[in-house]
Structure 1
């Protein structure tokens, strides 16, 4: 009698084994795969961790070449399942022959269910083998004990929904990416990526940029009275904004010399402000974005904290704590550390009344802490994210904040003005959650019938402003609203746009290549960049998960949509090629060559595939610069502040952009190299030496210096 427990990753396997074995397990290795063994419930228990998906979808070998003339076939070709980590696959196959029960203990969501189902499908189990599912939302003792005491069935429909998504996304991504890349001659590492969810998301950014560019500011005027009673305060004309200057001037002439204001109405009310709702994945990423974290970086840290048993599962749409969540137990743990004061205030309330958000699901609770961490062990960004989760949890349990809201109507020269104020009476939950900023607006106590002094009346002219660019957090909120992607994939989609060089900046704006791809698709196959098609397919995935639709019908529907899009794209192939290549040419230009002053600096590739910067006036100008070999390369609007030479911006996944001066002799680069030498050893260099003019010879010392500088730049990007 033996039981095999399959976890999603090795660190999860070790934690699960540690709890079930009460810390007394034997760790062995099979083909370098860690395996944990111990006695459990009158049987031998074997726990093993995978590396996420052990199977991957791919097309048959004959479709490996990106042949544009075979894309129509690719639309309907069934992908093959291939092993991603064959040695782990072989290990679980062998272990499957030794057991009579298999428990899937992967993450409880669509992808986790599919990972477990994949493992079961390759194990060649006997028909009498019992297959069960352990469902938990945190890697803690109580959660694991409860999950293994209350095993459920594997949800095949949920796994099927995840597999359907893989099939659909592979087809759309492969067909559209291959079309766009081959049609424009951009293959290899320069390929142009297009995707079912990626492209509508990019379109949101491009459309917002168009709104900003075409926005025509509209002038407005308002009239403000400066008043005084003990302290200065102000009131605005009750009309609000005036869109006609003549109308504003007319009113201003009436009231400009007024010295008194009579209070004709006044009201004061005490208002309770409920705490913020618990963290869903989207809300968490939005808050982390305000702190300067990219969505991908924030999610990566959250996953690490989850695997360390410090927070609950970070992929959830839920914004309501289940009644079974042990709130007081969690508070008791937090009270042992630096959150003791906040916990004490919370527990002094007559009753814990956690706030509730708009969405309640049954898969996982909202993101919350499950164990106490310390700054000494959980350092840097990990602590910042952990503290954010803890403080949000504390805020949701905290007392209401109370605000005194005041409003008064004042008659000045026969015209009505409105004064509004709000004053914090009790910070309540705000004291636990310093990420919100509140500013009180003072107005004194005013009584109907009294007269106060008018210090002066002034007019203010302003202009309407264009809509703001998206931040990563706001973009993910918009994706959720439009049904683009899922809680598990949205941060990955946004990061892919940055990695491909389609968008840039904290206030996200499209690059030339990102913009032209969307324009080309909008002009020729608009369905690809609008959310309706993607949302419809997402809804289909949900119906599969619910058992109300079969995989074949959804895949067929997707293939029909894709075939129609491809037909239109093929008919406009030449037009797309011209438009895209023109935009890409402009994007690759990094400024005027400082050596000849005539050519433009552009990115090139050597025969070995290494990129470097060169003047496009070659052979008349042989000026070149070495470049780091990874990270997206974007033009920089400013010259180097140290040497006034050209510089570029390097962007790497989950890292802050780095400004790099192209002159390797610049003091900024030499200082970077010195700083790098003081730290850890730099990774192996990936650089291209500056090209040499015919008949010249560069010294080894000069080459070494440039290599060291490139090393230091790459190290800065990789840390």
Structure 2
């Protein structure tokens, strides 16, 4: 190869793997603390994601003095965030003839590559450059990608940069607006973002639905019928809203029932569709947070075990040799499952509704041993393997029995099901098969009624969002992208706007949304954000100018700032912040108990708001994030508290009960 060649990847471990796949006798050299992999006349360098970032000039840093509107048309600058990396790139740029961008193939990855390319071209304007795209870091995928390089997609990179710019402006304007209005500055500032706000609104409004829900009573009648030794339960076909009617119907039910209709048939249950990012995170959220699941998936991808985990695709492309992957899996811990799939005459993969050309659905790319991976890595790897094998498995077959039974004019329905062939369910163990036993019956057959009951029930409020169902809703509304949705949810947790899973909003989270809904509701609606995501695709396709999209977004924010009632916004936010600190009523003087900090050492505790007249206090753990729940201790009428640590949530319960228990234990010890 004539001249010197530089290959740029997104991370260091990707650079290490790619260099080992492409070259022999790779030598690792450290330059300014950066790993450079050298072989022949080639350098391979892994970046640390973005090495530059957009920011406001320094004169805009004083939140209190800089007018919010001035942020809208400020000259955004690029700041180097990884100085040593940039210096190494500059020094190597002077001696190379060609550079290949091998960052992740998506919008963000394209921008990361272009950022590095711009630095290199500033030093060496005549350098040749190209792009390689791959969906798995395996020898075959990498060699294939490097054998047919393509062009850098500057429009795709531009669309990512414009999103960064708009998010910077939105985030700065709105975050400063509510932080200044609430008086929460410094490390306790309140953040608001383009995607964050409408996502938080979903959680807040669901919580309000639950709080305002008024249950309605209804009655249901159940009867258990016997045929031979088998007893099965049926439900009255009517749900009664009136108790008197229910009691009349219940009284009519005799001690016999006549089968008036019976149907028995086999029903095939199709296997699940291939994993795209949204579906993967929904399933993974059963085991860990969506943010952690994505981090683990990225680690497995960079280690060559699974394909790229950021994809919208739910259709395997024809270029993937599915049988070869299954055959490879027979050599590992999923031998039995893989052989079951191969026992079919022909492999047929399920297809989802979304098909894209950038990356295939998430699938295994190498055989992993359990002792090679961490506990979390194995959980995610097993999930991906089992999902992949399930998509190639035969249908599950059920026998379904449906019909009606008449007892003195009261009609009961039954719907039985029995699994007779496990099919894909044999492999995908995360979906429980619930059987409902019902025997074979004949029309006109008379059955004994073993028991009957009239049950009073209440309608239930809607469920809170789990992180998995929230990601699905965000996708439906066009909030964020496959690459950012889990990060948005994580940000809501870190800002103390939400806690738990299912997600509950904190008082301050509710205050932020209620204040914005009152004064600038459009910020909390998905419409503008969803439209902006569509505009990003248009920019990437060269159909829309980036200047137009930025200007449209600035005009939108300008209008909001012009119509705001800052005083009203401030009052709503400050009331919410005050409520967020209230734990309950002081047992001594009945004034509010609030979370406070000691002067000087910043240790936190619960104290009476009537201090110094009342000095009642309760201790608090000094580590972890405190969440005041809406559940009251029945004995003390103090809100129960949860503590979030790196290991998860710890239910402290009522802090007063907790303190009294601690005192009792100390008495016994002493």
Matches within 5 A, 1:39-54: 39=40, 44-54=41-51
Do structure 1's residue 408 and structure 2's residue 406 form an aligned pair? no
The offset of 1:380, in angstroms, is: 1.5
Specify the alignment match of 2:436 in structure 1.
Answer: 441
Specify the alignment match of 1:559 in structure 2.
Answer: 554
CA distance in 2, matches of 1:660, 1:227: 48
- Asked if structure 2 preserves the Cα contact closer than 8 Å seen for 1:593 and 1:601, the reply is no
SS of aligned partner of 1:552: helix
- Asked if structure 1 preserves the Cα contact closer than 8 Å seen for 2:628 and 2:639, the reply is no
Task: Give the 3 Å change call, closer, same or farther, for CA 380–623 of structure 1 in structure 2.
Answer: farther
CA distance in 1, matches of 2:54, 2:193: 16
The offset of 1:595, in angstroms, is: 9.0
**In structure 1, which of residues 489, 507, 510 is the aligned counterpart of residue 505 of structure 2?**
510
Do structure 1's residue 273 and structure 2's residue 261 form an aligned pair? no
**In structure 2, which of residues 582, 586, 593 is the aligned counterpart of residue 589 of structure 1?**
582
Specify the alignment match of 1:698 in structure 2.
Answer: none
**In structure 2, which of residues 133, 138, 142 is the aligned counterpart of residue 144 of structure 1?**
142
The offset of 1:614, in angstroms, is: 4.9
Specify the alignment match of 1:28 in structure 2.
Answer: 29
Specify the alignment match of 2:219 in structure 1.
Answer: 221
Do structure 1's residue 580 and structure 2's residue 576 form an aligned pair? no
CA distance in 2, matches of 1:414, 1:591: 56
Task: Give the 3 Å change call, closer, same or farther, for CA 619–82 of structure 1 in structure 2.
Answer: same
- Asked if structure 2 preserves the Cα contact closer than 8 Å seen for 1:266 and 1:406, the reply is yes
Q: TM-score, normalised by structure 2?
A: 0.92
CA distance in 1, matches of 2:529, 2:631: 39
SS of aligned partner of 2:285: helix
The offset of 1:538, in angstroms, is: 0.9
CA distance in 1, matches of 2:368, 2:403: 49
- Asked if structure 1 preserves the Cα contact closer than 8 Å seen for 2:291 and 2:486, the reply is yes
Unaligned runs of 5+ in 2: 666-670
Specify the alignment match of 2:514 in structure 1.
Answer: 519
Specify the alignment match of 1:656 in structure 2.
Answer: 648
CA distance in 1, matches of 2:269, 2:402: 18
The offset of 1:591, in angstroms, is: 4.7
The offset of 1:171, in angstroms, is: 0.7
Task: Give the 3 Å change call, closer, same or farther, for CA 610–140 of structure 1 in structure 2.
Answer: farther
**In structure 2, which of residues 243, 250, 253 is the aligned counterpart of residue 252 of structure 1?**
250
Specify the alignment match of 2:303 in structure 1.
Answer: 308
- Asked if structure 2 preserves the Cα contact closer than 8 Å seen for 1:606 and 1:612, the reply is no
**In structure 2, which of residues 275, 286, 290 is the aligned counterpart of residue 290 of structure 1?**
286
- Asked if structure 1 preserves the Cα contact closer than 8 Å seen for 2:181 and 2:573, the reply is no
The offset of 1:666, in angstroms, is: 9.5
Unaligned runs of 5+ in 1: 672-719
Specify the alignment match of 1:382 in structure 2.
Answer: 377
Matches within 5 A, 1:5-404: 5-22=7-24, 24-39=25-40, 44-67=41-64, 70-123=67-120, 124-230=122-228, 231-238=230-237, 240-253=238-251, 255-257=252-254, 259-291=255-287, 293-404=288-399
Instruction: Give the stretch that moved more between structures: 494-503 or 459-468.
Output: 459-468
CA distance in 2, matches of 1:610, 1:50: 40
- Asked if structure 2 preserves the Cα contact closer than 8 Å seen for 1:266 and 1:408, the reply is yes
The offset of 1:639, in angstroms, is: 10
SS of aligned partner of 1:186: coil
Q: How many residues align?
A: 658
Task: Give the 3 Å change call, closer, same or farther, for CA 480–599 of structure 1 in structure 2.
Answer: closer
The offset of 1:261, in angstroms, is: 2.2
Task: Give the 3 Å change call, closer, same or farther, for CA 660–237 of structure 1 in structure 2.
Answer: closer
Specify the alignment match of 1:635 in structure 2.
Answer: 628
Task: Give the 3 Å change call, closer, same or farther, for CA 105–613 of structure 1 in structure 2.
Answer: farther
CA distance in 2, matches of 1:175, 1:410: 65
Q: TM-score, normalised by structure 1?
A: 0.86
Matches within 5 A, 1:529-540: 529-540=524-535
